[in-house]
Amino acid sequence: MKSLDWSALDEAGRRQALARPAQSRADEVRRGVERIIAAVRHDGDTALRELSTKYDRCTLDAIEVSGAEFDAAEAALDPELKAAIREAAARIELFHRAAAPRPVVVDTAPGVRVERMLRPVSRVGLYVPAGSAPLPSTALMLGVPARIAGCREVVLCSPARADGRCDAAVLYAARLVGVHRVFKLGGAQAIAAMAYGTESIPKCDKLFGPGNAWVTEAKLQVSSDPDGAAIDMPAGPSEILVIADAGANPVFVAADLLSQAEHGPDSQVILLSNSAQLIERVEREVERQCAALPRADIARQALAQSRLIAVDSLAQAVEVSNRYAPEHLIMQVAEPRALLEGIDSAGSIFLGPWAPESVGDYCSGSNHVLPTYGYARSYSGVSVASYQKQISVQEVSAEGLRHIGPCTATLAAAEQLEAHRRAVTLRLEALA
């Protein structure tokens, strides 16, 4: 990991210090995704099979997962793993039900009632990555709020293994949370299929889920096309930023950094500390722990694009963190809540030494599908609200129009919209 002193950097150096690695290949990825989307739109299922052979190195006879495959997956899983999946799903549901939006009814004037009613997005497409490792937890994070929201049809895409089957744990989690249909597709081609539809894949209204830079780019492209689909957010390669003071445990800090570095080569981890001694200890500890990881090679590729940054104070660390807008923010400081008020851009925050990011990934109850690339400045993580539309309703009586009609007419006249004004004044005249 590269060590830097924030105060010694000029503005260009600071931008470079916080640059995401995946963005350096943006043009190459953009053009590649355009070709994939065009192929799927033109050739449908034929293109999906060809792309699966090319990228996932598997031959697909059937694109959709069968009932027999679901049954076999459930039978093959270790009972302890199935119990953990059920436990995590229950905790995720507990939090998401409590945090779900509620209908609102307000009388804003006598005889004027304004409501907000909630309706689910009708058909949603979920993407569960399975590149270097399957992610059944993502099936839970996406499927639970979709079920709470009441989406009419929930489809899920996840890459097949070389044997043409999806990961058993992903299938078990998908069935548990009520996903209706699962397809053996990965990458940008899965996003294109759900956005535009093919012979086998239904066209979805909104797409959800994280993925690599190609998946993220595909989501951005289809969301900008009126014929495509809306998306939850840009959610690409995982990232974490840790703020740690001199009293932080370097073993814990290093473990948290590595927990994200092992996700993939495009992941990025950053440490901000006002203690040079802690930075040195963390650096040594990262190397020691990394050597023992099964995914050490992947972690080292991510670490090569990561940073150890010295700051003058914890207040400066907060400023740098807000500028980076991390997907995950861990605050291993003596009084983390004292810094919390200053944080305005982060996907999910973990306070204190006993809150590793891993619990948020799996079973604390919060959602782990979060904005990356700095999009935490303007996006939130997935929630029940992500799967719902909020529709306003107004009911106005004659008395109500007498109360608010003159205000409406005055504002319409100020905007020189005479038909707007007359729609009110003609009614008021009828009530005279």
> What residues form the annotated binding site?
127, 189, 212, 238, 260, 263, 328, 361, 415, 420
247, HSE (Cβ side, Cα atoms, 13 Å): 9
- Taking the C-alpha atoms of residue 199 and residue 43, their distance in angstroms, rounded to an integer, is 10
Residues serving a catalytic function are 327-328
98 φ, ψ (degrees, to nearest 5): -65, -35
The angle at the Cα of 95, spanning 92 to 99, to the nearest 5 degrees, equals 135
- Taking the C-alpha atoms of residue 369 and residue 236, their distance in angstroms, rounded to an integer, is 10
- Taking the C-alpha atoms of residue 227 and residue 230, their distance in angstroms, rounded to an integer, is 10
Instruction: Please count the other Cβ atoms lying within 10 Å of the Cβ belonging to residue 386.
Output: 22
Instruction: Please count the other Cβ atoms lying within 10 Å of the Cβ belonging to residue 182.
Output: 25
- Taking the C-alpha atoms of residue 253 and residue 248, their distance in angstroms, rounded to an integer, is 7
Residues at the binding site for NAD(+) are 127, 189, 212
The one-letter amino acid at 316: Q
End-to-end CA distance of the chain: 77
Q: Quick one: DSSP state of residue 64?
A: B
